Structures are given as structure tokens and as C-alpha cells.
Chains A and B, each alone.
Chain A
Amino acid sequence: MAEHLVILGASYAGFQLASEVRKGGFPGAVTLIGAEPGLPYQRPPLSKAFLQGDMAEDRLPMTGWTFFNDENVRYLPGVQASSLDTQARTLVLSTGEELAYSWLAFCTGARARRLPVAGADLPGVYTMRSLADARAIKNQLASSRSVCVIGAGFIGLEVAAACRQAGKTVTVVEAGEEVLARALPQPLRRYLQARHEAAGVTFRFSTQVQAIAENEPAGGLSVVTDNGALPCDTVIVGIGATPNTELAAAAGIHCDPAIPVDAFGRTQVDRVLAAGDCASYPCDFAPTPGTRMTLESVQAAKDTARAVASVILGNPQPFNEVPWFWTDQYDLKVQMAGLCSDRQEYVLRGDPAESRFSWVGLQDGTIRSVFSVNRPADHMAARKLIAQQTSVAAEQAADTNTRLKALINSVRE
């Protein structure tokens, strides 16, 4: 049969895959299926500029309708696959249409984890993942006065910053002891917490949410925790993501909880691939290199999609990019390259009092990670330094008279 690539999921991984295979001259048919209506759109601004009212909705799409015509990609928004037969290589869509594929790529991403407590579905309680979520939250915030954010991860903190800047009373409830515990080195976690507190955010750490209740007769909501009840009118939940793997599991693909793939995005089923937040893959830059992970980021979604595209194009290239990520909170541009680890020693570069500094993570004399606040040059150099495993002495890392860029070619023998 003529080649047919079917891509399930039309966000970062799915769209990038469609784009890459066409760039690479894939001669077969390409069908891109997305559960959400409209054009594929950008997610990072939803909890940042869009939520703050600084970015109109028409700036969110990551492409235009022109792409699908120009590149001969059949795009089916608002459609899902309802069943999959990996033997026959067919799938049935929610529209009833049956497709036969020669390649199938799972790019179904993840959904926001819901609070597993009573009251999680009450009006006024939101997750932040989709454009629909962001619109609903924006609407709610127009008349809201007090917001309770559940979860002090990236989503929680970005939402807290946006709400605080809009003048709302903000309390952040976190089950753990700190903000961003897995993602950043401790000095930076403390710095961000302090900046939020200076802006007027109240944190309740080591606090578990037990239920959300309607606050009768006053109205609004009450977040019931093991540390007392918090009245508010809006609850926004950012407690992590659950990969969308139900179809894969139903088709017999073992998921744990993501779809495990090799470094090229291949599952254990022939001609079935996966990329982005729905997948887990070996990461060269994990504290133990090769550990299977899901790097929940735009960059990893695109780069794993590129690996999958290379397989389809017949020239397999493994996913081996340095992980990078960013978050914008208040006036802070926080950029991260590499992954945080207890095995690294962190050296300060620059001055926190000036809000311009980086923490450089060293291990065995090489740069493994850099966490930057308002120092984009450090971040950009870091991606190359980490990829090359550049030898750097702590004094060099700390010395702001030396640009990190200047260290780029001093590769260890």
C-alpha cells in the first residue's frame, strides 16, 4: 500500500512531526489528528502572557491553515481515535472513519492531573492545561478576589504570579516542603519563594488538600486541608500531568504510565512510534545517564518528534539533546539547561541582589546544568557546554568577567 503516516495528537510533538517529515520529503500521505478544535496552539503563554491579558488569543496558534494546504497534511481537529488494531494496522476515529496506516505516531501528550478529592469538580475549581482551561480561568479571574493555587510547581507558580499581579489574594498550597522541589537547586528554590512572598503570595507547605467544599452561607469555596480550611473564590490546580495512553494500552502496548520508547521513539510494536509528553525515553542527561524519563517540556516534545521523523525518513537519529526549559514569573526570566541533581555542586555566578545570576551545576569537573535568572547568555552557552561535557573549574564558572561562551571549546581530553 502507499505509505500513510497517522499522527495522533496535534500539539507540539504531533505538529513538529508532520512538519519534519514533509521537510524531509516523506512521499506518503500524512494525517494529523487532534482532539482539540482549531489550529495547534502554544501552551506556555496560557499560564503567562495570555493569562495576564498581554497576549491576544489570535497570537497563540503555532501555525496557520496555510501549512496544511501547502504541505499536503490532512488535519482533523476535534477528532480522536476510538480504537486501534496494531495487527491490521488500522484505527477507527470518533467520526467513524477507518484509517489504515503504515506508520502510527502517538503524540497524545498528557492531561492535567485532577485532585483526587471530593469537590474537585465544583464550579470555580480549574486545572491549567488547555486553551479552554485558560479562557475559563481568565473569565473567572475577572470577578475573582482570592485564589487558592494547589501545587507549587511551574504551573502553580506562574499562575500565582499572574493572579498576584492582577491584584488577587493568592495562597499556594503545597504537599511538599518547598517550591519546585525536583526541578531546581535549593538556593534558586528559596530565591523564587522569597520573590513570591515579597509580591504578597502566602505559601502553605507540607499541607495536603482533603476536600474542596462550597463555603455556605457566605458563598465561594473552602479548601479543606490537614492544616485548616482556606476560603477563596477560585481554586487552580497544578499538581502534575497524566500521560494520555488509554488507546495505546487498550491496543496491548504496555504503559508505565507513559508509552516507553527507545532513543529513536520506537515502541515495542512494529511501525508504532511515540513522542512528547505521552512517552518515556532514555535521557543521556539524567543524573544516571540513560534513565528512562518524560521531560515535560516543549523542547523535548519537539526533539523527540524529530527523532521519530528521522525513523520514518529512513535515517534514524536518536534523541540526545540537552534538556532545556524556561519559566517567566514577575520580572524574572528563569532559564534552565540540563537537569538538577544531588550529585552536582552548585556555583553562583552573578548577583541575586541584582536579579541577574546563574547557578552552575558541576560534577567531576564538568558543567552538567545551569539555572539562570535574567542571564540568557549564560543559558545559551550552557546548552553547548553541557552537550560537550566541557571541563570547567568552579572559579571560572563563578567569574562573571569570563563569558560562559568563551569556555565552549575547552573540551576534556
Chain B
Amino acid sequence: MTQVTYVLHDGSEKELEGKPGNSIMELAVHNNVPGIEAECGGSCACATCHVYVQASDLAKLPDMDDMEDEMLDEAAAERRDNSRLSCQLVLSDDVDSVQVQIPERQI
């Protein structure tokens, strides 16, 4: 299980436990965490599940592929070095904890 902390736009935090095989996006959506739209349901086709990953957690997560890289340029909120699409961040038992910040806007 992975401890996932979502830092919401208003600064408040929500901590959830994610199962291996679930993505950070799915965990948010299933638990009514606001600010992740996931319009395409995780198909890497909409860039509305954009998150900023805490820098020290970036290396723990699956590598970014070309499609995600292209899609991130199109996210509504500013793209930063720690930007990822949370639908591509699939959790595993190797990852004990991750913290992500939810951007101001997804659309």
C-alpha cells in the first residue's frame, strides 16, 4: 500500500492509502478528492489529471512516456519540472509514500 498525500489548491491536505495497480488519479476520483477532473478516465487523452509531484518523490514513480510528455504541454496550469499526469502514476508496493499538489485549474 502507498500513502498518498494530496495537497489541495486551498492548502489543505488529504491523505489516502492507495493499492498497487491503482493510479494516483483513480485514488483521488474514488475518494472524492477535488481538483482532478480526469475527463478521459485515465486514457492519457485529456491532460485534466495534472499534478505537481513533490520533488523528492519523482524518482519513485513510473517513467514518463512520449504521449504523456506531449499531453503535459497542453495542461491548463503551468507545466513545471515536477508535472505529471496522475492517470499515468500507477502505484506499486515499492512506493511507500507520495505527495502531490493539485494545480489551480485543469481546464
Contact = CB atoms under 8 A, between A and B. Distances in A.
Interface string A37-77: 00000101100100000001011011110110011000000
Contacts of A61: 30
Interface stretch (A170-178, A194-202, A279-287, A375-383): A375-383
Interface string B21-46: 11100100111100000011111110
Contact of B32 (A58, A63, A377, A380): A63
Contact of B45 (A58, A66, A326): A326
B47 interface: yes
A299 interface: yes
Contacts of B31: 64, 66
Contacts of A326: 40, 43, 45
A66 B71 CA distance: 30
B41 A56 contact: no
Interface in A373-413: 374-377, 379-381, 405
* Residue of B23, B40, B45 with highest tally of chain A CB at under 10 A: B45
Chain A contact patch, size range: 20 to 34
A374 B41 CA distance: 18
Interface in A321-340: 326, 328, 333, 335
Contact of A59 (B22, B67, B74): B22
A356 to B, nearest CB: 9
Given A333-B67, A376-B70, A405-B74, A45 B32 contact: no
Interface in A353-389: 374-377, 379-381
Nearest to A299: B39
B73 interface: yes
Interface in B47-84: 47, 67, 70-71, 73-74
B43 A44 contact: yes
Contact of A333 (B26, B32, B44): B44
A333 B31 CA distance: 29
Given A62-B29, A66-B32, 10 more contacts: A45-B43, A56-B21, A63-B32, A298-B40, A328-B43, A375-B70, A376-B71, A376-B74, A377-B73, A380-B73
22 contacts: A42-B41, A44-B43, A59-B22, A61-B30, A62-B41, A63-B30, A64-B31, A66-B30, A66-B32, A70-B32, A302-B39, A326-B40, A374-B67, A376-B45, A376-B67, A376-B70, A376-B71, A377-B71, A380-B71, A380-B73, A405-B73, A405-B74
Interface of A: 42, 44-45, 48, 56, 58-59, 61-64, 66-67, 70-71, 298-299, 302, 326, 328, 333, 335, 374-377, 379-381, 405
